[in-house]
Amino acid sequence: MTAEAMDRGQRARLIRKTRAGLGLSQTEFAERFRVPVGTLRDWEQARATAPDFAIAYVRVIGRHPDLVAKAVA
């Protein structure tokens, strides 16, 4: 396994764990936080590497989900 594949997998797990921790489906998470559902699926299944800004966004969502949802509403 390459370092790139490991990084992609770690990012995928962080996104999945954050979404699941909020008790949201992929569709619910995508709608609430304005992320295209197809993009979210690709990130979670490690078909695509979530960029650094997306990881930062997911971390903020994990800490302040209601505040982020209100900000993007």
The per-residue pLDDT string of the chain (73 residues; one tens digit each, 9 = 90 and over) reads: 799 899 999 999 999 999 999 999 999 999 999 999 999 999 999 999 999 999 999 999 999 999 999 999 9
CA distances from 19 to 1, 2, 4, 14 (A): 26, 26, 23, 9
Q: Which of 1-19 are b and which e, b meaning 16 or more Cβ less than 10 Å from the residue's Cβ?
A: eeeeeeebeebbebbbebb
Sign for the CA dihedral angle at 71, 62, 8, 12 comes to: negative
- Give the chain's count of helices (H) and strands (E): 5, 0
